[in-house]
Copies of this chain bind each other. A is one copy, B any other.
């Protein structure tokens, strides 16, 4: 059985999952430590999705870390299919949330009335950027695992 780098149970996958966890946590923190996020639908959506992504990525990071330590990769097609579908759905939702946040921040920055104080807007922008990075890593995980799926 070929070892696909980045699929479940490899150290590359562990790194990807760790990156997802870190970026989503950063996105959530930058967004929610401001006090005004709940007045915009897009920001609430981002917080909700990040609240889903963080436990998912963290759990899979633990699984990968365990697999690497005991040198016994997970190779059951049912579980792998579940992981691929979960990653895929979450990455679509992350992309949607990141795009919504980015476009709302852009609108707030360029609106005629001064809607957001400069400090908050920068934090929203950083949050959206972190969400995009998290999306990219999540999509990479999904593709690597999809690649492995037919060989099981």
CB of A4 to closest CB in B, whole Å: 14
Residues of B within 8 A of A107 (CB): 40-42, 104, 107
Residues of B within 8 A of A42 (CB): 103, 106-107
Residues of B within 8 A of A83 (CB): none
Q: Quick one: closest B residue to A92, CB to CB?
A: B95
Report the copy number of this chain in the oligomer. 2
Contact residues of A: prevailing secondary structure:
helix
Report which of B40, B99, B106, B113 forms a contact with A99, defined as CB distance below 8 A. Answer: B99
Interface residues on chain A, size class: 10 to 19
A102 within 8 A of B: yes
Residues of B within 8 A of A97 (CB): 99
Q: Are B150's CB and A106's CB within 8 A?
A: no
Residues of B within 8 A of A113 (CB): 113
Q: Could you jot down 20 A-B contacts, CB within 8 Å?
A: A40-B107, A41-B103, A41-B106, A41-B110, A42-B103, A42-B106, A42-B107, A92-B95, A95-B95, A95-B99, A97-B99, A99-B99, A99-B100, A100-B100, A100-B102, A103-B104, A104-B104, A107-B107, A113-B113, A150-B150
Known: A95-B95, A97-B99, A100-B103. 16 other contacts (CB 8 A): A41-B103, A41-B110, A42-B106, A42-B107, A92-B95, A95-B96, A96-B99, A99-B99, A99-B100, A99-B103, A100-B100, A100-B102, A103-B103, A103-B104, A113-B113, A150-B150
